[in-house]
């Protein structure tokens, strides 16, 4: 048996990973020591039990729905495996001579959007007697309606379906709220299995073996207004293997300006019912495709070492499932990000920018879907500025930028002018490089050139303003922001065959090498700060797009600086604090072919993920001295972790 003490320990374990609402994790490595939870931390309970020769053991989740309901917990099985791949989480546990192996699989296949957008996660299990004896065994699984309603005081209705059972609020009001750390509060949760049923929570208590009612003589059972609090979608069976399909019908997924849009899969399957029937009937094929994809991606990542592959396997589902894929009748595919635990903004441009390496690798059309909301909104009269917007609302409602807006009015001092113009141009350049054609750029040429002109006027020496690292506050003369403007202008010249932009960018780069030079090695944090330094992650586009603006010594000197600033858990973002960003650190590893630096960064990132005391889906903003989470979790920006693979793809094509 493998020594689990030396295994990769995720900061949180992905179980159900579909979209920002249907997202259930274990915040502990031992899957029975706590409730399963939504990515934001709210309890979204799943419970797995085995009864072996009359004694009940737990293999998943915490068995009590409320600490006042039970005075006895089942024994926990000994967890013997926990392994995360890009599309699956493999688990095994044993007790009393019996082993259960179970796997959560979310078929998030980026090149198969009809499958990726299907709101389905599979849980398959198999039970085996491993002591050579025969045992009487019964399997139990349930999932709470708290996974589909934000408040259990709301009345929940339960239904039998052709595939099992479902539940949801009795009064449906889709899209009735938006914002950060929100959970499902409309639509229907489905449990598809031949023996699925709706059961009172006392059924779980009876399965465990002892039940004690609430103190004070309260009797909830049979009270219609409260009964829904004690019901769950449940499977109780003696079958020793099976497949459980967990699915979420959100009815409609997003409001996109003047359109109300269902999930993308409806354009392929037509209805949720057809999609679910297809998903149930095609489990073996979907699982085969998911396993094949995982094996391929793991093989690619292993070229960079086991530590790199371990972290990448954990980050993949987080990056994808922080989005919702829909289809607009006007704009086509729309891939909406939720800026999780960071304001809840939707389609945030400076969240798109760091996330794109993963999506450019497998489906550039999804990156177009990230940009389309921004490009659409920028043309609307409601957007008052000549630079690019930050976002288009709060997830999942796209109605206009809400970052730092008050009473519907934008605050000019709280914008990111250089940041977002550069992001839009460079993301477009990435799309065109990945596709090998410039169609998308030319579709939006007028807008992109307007933003290029803005960068030509204001980008070299930015005024006091925010950048994507807005938690660090305003900064004037930001040298890394200047780099973004320079490489974006050059990218526009490359996209549209405009020599004037290429020539201006080269002049700016030459001036930057002089003006940003530190008194020692490397470059400054700000032009007026001779001693400061910062991660120049925006330089990667000079390499990825083959722009050749900056001499090689700029890159090598930067890496020398970062090596000297390395802490236990990574390189700080800049000289002002000890915190860092996971994505930007990894971006700097592709500035040169310095394997020593690459290995140091990846080891530090892996250690931070494994050793942090903040048990949440991976944070991208943490302290390099302690691995403490500063904020942010479950964000799609971790797609930037895959930039070494993108670098290889671009440079070898």
Identify the residue whose tokens are 């090498």: 513
The verdict on 489 and 609 lying in the same domain is yes
The answer to whether residue 260 is domain-embedded is no
CA–CA separation, 140 and 133 (whole Å): 22
Please write the tens of the pLDDT for every residue from 257-278: 999 999 999 999 999 999 999 9
310, 325 contact by CB (below 8 A) = no
Alpha-carbon span 504 to 458, nearest angstrom = 13
The predicted structure's pLDDT at residue 231:
86
Please report whether residue 296 resides in a domain.
no
* Full 3-state SS string of 563-603: HHHCECCECCCECCCCEEEHHHHHHHCCCCCCHHHHHHHHH
* Whether the Cβ atoms of residue 539 and residue 422 lie closer than 8 Å to each other: no
Kindly state whether residues 68 and 212 are assigned to the same domain. Answer: yes
For residue 214, the model assigns a pLDDT of 41
From residue 263, how far is each of 127, 269, 271, 560, 647 by CA, in Å?
A: 36, 11, 10, 47, 32
pLDDT tens for 105-133 read 999 999 999 999 999 999 999 999 999 99
The pLDDT tens digits for 210-256 are: 544 444 333 332 223 333 456 899 999 999 999 999 999 999 999 99
Number of domains making up the chain = 2
Enclosing domain of residue 202: 10-251
Omega before residue 396 within 30° of 0, cis: yes
- In angstroms, how far is CA 559 from the centroid of its own chain? 28
pLDDT band of residue 505 (cuts 50, 70, 90) is very high
Residue 28 lies in a domain: yes
Nearest Cα neighbor of 344 from 20, 18, 599, 74 is 20
Calculate what percentage of the chain has a pLDDT beyond 70.
94
Instruction: State mean pLDDT over 129-143.
Output: 97
How confident is residue 405, by pLDDT bands cut at 50, 70 and 90?
confident
Residue 200's pLDDT is 82
Whether residue 62 lies inside any domain: the answer is: yes
Q: Quick one: what percent of the chain has pLDDT higher than 90?
A: 89
The answer to which of 210-214, 360-364, 459-463 has the lowest mean pLDDT is 210-214
**For 175, left (φ over 0), alpha (ψ -120 to 50), or beta?**
left
Output the pLDDT for position 92: 98
Distance of alpha carbon 592 from alpha carbon 644, whole angstroms: 11
Asked whether residue 108 falls in the same domain as residue 232, the answer is yes
Q: Which CATH number do you get for residue 477?
A: 1.50.10.10
Average pLDDT over residues 629-636: 98
Q: Are residues 78 and 174 both part of a single domain?
A: yes
Residue 355 and residue 473 in one domain: yes
Euclidean distance between CA atoms 503 and 489, whole angstroms? 9
Q: What is the CATH number of the domain that holds 123?
A: 2.70.98
**Strands 36-38 vs 46-52: parallel, antiparallel or unpaired:** unpaired
Q: What is the DSSP string of 273-315?
A: HHHHHHHHHTHHHHHHHHHHHHHHHHHHHHTT-HHHHHHHHHH
Is residue 209 over pLDDT 80? no
- Does 16 fall in a domain? yes
DSSP SS3 for 232: strand
Q: Judge if 352 and 237 occupy the same domain.
A: no
Which pLDDT score, from 0 to 100, does residue 185 have? Answer: 97
366 Cβ partners below 8 Å, 6+ apart? 110, 113, 323, 325, 333, 335, 359
Mean pLDDT of 571-598: 98
Q: Are residues 445 and 558 in the same domain?
A: yes
CB–CB of 287/122 below 8 Å? yes
**pLDDT higher at 63 or 538:** 538
Q: What's the rounded Cα separation, in Å, for the pair 36 and 32?
A: 9
Residue 490 placed within a domain? yes
pLDDT > 50? residue 201:
yes
CA distance 78 to 75: 9
What pLDDT was estimated at residue 72? Answer: 60
Backbone angles phi, psi at 450, to 5 degrees: -65, -40
Record the pTM: 0.95
Q: Note the pLDDT of residue 369.
A: 98
At residue 408, the 3 state secondary structure works out as: coil
Q: Indicate if the pLDDT at residue 483 is higher than 70.
A: yes
Q: Are residues 481 and 346 in the same domain?
A: yes
Q: What is the mean pLDDT of the chain?
A: 94
Q: Report CA 268 to chain centroid distance, whole Å.
A: 24
Q: Residue 70: which pLDDT band, with cuts at 50, 70 and 90?
A: very low
- Residues 623 and 481 grouped into a single domain: yes
Q: Which of 251, 286, 316 is the last residue in one of the domains?
A: 251
Question: Which residue in this structure is represented by tokens 């003369």?
Answer: 477
The answer to the question of residue 72 being in a domain is: yes
Which of 200, 225, 251 finishes a domain? 251
- Name the domain boundary from 221, 236, 251: 251
Number of other CB atoms surrounding residue 133 within 10 Å: 10
Residue 495: CA count within 13 A, CB half-sphere: 30
Together in a domain, 244 and 375 = no
Same-domain pairing of 382 and 239: no
Q: In angstroms, rounded to a whole number, what is the distance separating the alpha carbons of residues 166 and 246?
A: 10
Contact in structure between 539 and 491 (CB atoms under 8 Å): no
The number of C-alpha atoms within 13 Å of 412 and in the hemisphere containing its C-beta is: 4
User: Is the confidence at residue 475, as pLDDT, over 60?
Assistant: yes
pLDDT at 64 over 70: no
Terminal-to-terminal C-alpha distance of the chain: 42
- Position 360 in a domain: yes
| 110 and 205 co-located in one domain | yes
């Amino acid at each position: 048996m493998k020594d689990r003490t030396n295994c990769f320990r995720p900061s949180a374990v992905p179980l159900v990973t579909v979209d920002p609402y249907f997202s259930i994790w274990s915040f502990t490595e031992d899957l029975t020591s706590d409730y399963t939870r939504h990515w934001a931390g709210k309890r979204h309970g799943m419970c797995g039990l085995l009864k072996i020769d009359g004694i009940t053991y737990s293999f998943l989740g915490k068995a009590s729905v409320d600490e006042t309901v039970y005075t006895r917990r089942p024994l926990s099985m000994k967890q013997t495996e926990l392994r995360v791949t890009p599309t699956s989480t493999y688990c095994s546990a044993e007790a009393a001579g019996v082993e259960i192996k179970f796997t959560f699989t979310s078929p998030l296949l980026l090149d198969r959007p009809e499958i990726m957008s299907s709101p389905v996660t599979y849980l398959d299990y198999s039970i085996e007697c491993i002591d050579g004896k025969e045992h009487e065994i019964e399997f139990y699984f349930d999932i709470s309606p708290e996974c589909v309603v934000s408040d259990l005081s709301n009345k929940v209705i339960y239904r039998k379906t052709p595939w099992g059972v479902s539940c949801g609020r009795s009064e449906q009001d889709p899209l009735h709220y938006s914002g950060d750390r929100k959970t499902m509060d409309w639509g229907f949760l489905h449990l598809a299995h031949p023996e699925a049923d709706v059961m009172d929570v006392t059924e779980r208590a009876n399965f465990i073996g002892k039940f004690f009612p609430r103190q004070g003589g309260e009797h909830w059972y049979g009270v219609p207004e409260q009964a829904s609090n004690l019901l769950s979608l449940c499977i109780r069976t003696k079958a020793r293997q099976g497949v459980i399909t967990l699915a979420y019908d959100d009815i409609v997924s997003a409001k996109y300006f003047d359109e109300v849009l269902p999930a993308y899969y409806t354009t392929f399957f037509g209805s949720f019912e057809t999609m679910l029937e297809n998903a149930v009937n095609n489990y073996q094929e979907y699982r085969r495709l998911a396993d094949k994809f995982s094996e391929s991606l793991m093989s690619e990542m292993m070229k960079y070492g086991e530590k790199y592959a371990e972290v990448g396997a954990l980050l993949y589902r987080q990056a994808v499932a922080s989005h919702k894929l829909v289809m607009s009748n006007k704009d086509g595919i729309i891939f909406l990000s939720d800026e999780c635990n960071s304001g809840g903004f939707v389609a945030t441009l400076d969240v798109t920018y760091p996330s794109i390496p993963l999506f450019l690798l497998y489906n550039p059309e999804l990156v177009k879907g990230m940009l389309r909301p921004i490009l659409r909104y920028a043309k609307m009269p409601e957007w008052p500025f000549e630079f690019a917007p930050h976002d288009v609302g709060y997830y999942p409602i796209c109605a206009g930028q809400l970052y730092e807006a008050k009473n519907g009015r934008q605050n000019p001092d709280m914008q990111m002018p250089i940041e977002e113009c550069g992001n839009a141009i460079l993301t477009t350049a990435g799309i065109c490089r990945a596709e090998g054609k410039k169609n998308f750029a030319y579709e939006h040429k007028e807008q992109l050139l307007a933003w290029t002109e803005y960068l030509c006027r204001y980008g070299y020496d930015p005024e006091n303003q925010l950048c994507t690292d807005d938690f660090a506050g305003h900064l004037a003369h930001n040298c890394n922001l200047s780099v973004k403007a320079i490489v974006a202008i050059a990218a526009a010249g490359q996209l549209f065959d405009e020599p004037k932009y290429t020539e201006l960018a080269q002049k700016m780069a030459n001036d930057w090498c002089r003006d940003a030079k530190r008194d020692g090695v490397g470059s400054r944090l700000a032009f007026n700060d001779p001693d400061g330094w910062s991660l120049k992650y925006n330089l990667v586009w000079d390499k990825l797009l083959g722009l050749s603006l900056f001499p090689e010594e700029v890159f090598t000197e930067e890496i020398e600086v970062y090596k000297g600033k390395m802490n236990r858990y990574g390189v700080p973002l800049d000289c002002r604090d000890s915190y860092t960003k996971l994505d930007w650190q990894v971006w700097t590893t592709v500035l040169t072919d310095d394997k020593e630096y690459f290995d140091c960064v990846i080891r530090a990132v892996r250690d931070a993920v494994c050793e942090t005391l903040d048990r949440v889906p991976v944070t991208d903003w943490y302290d390099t001295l302690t691995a403490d989470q500063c904020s942010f979790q479950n964000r799609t920006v971790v797609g930037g972790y895959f930039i070494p693979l993108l670098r290889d793809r671009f440079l070898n094509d």
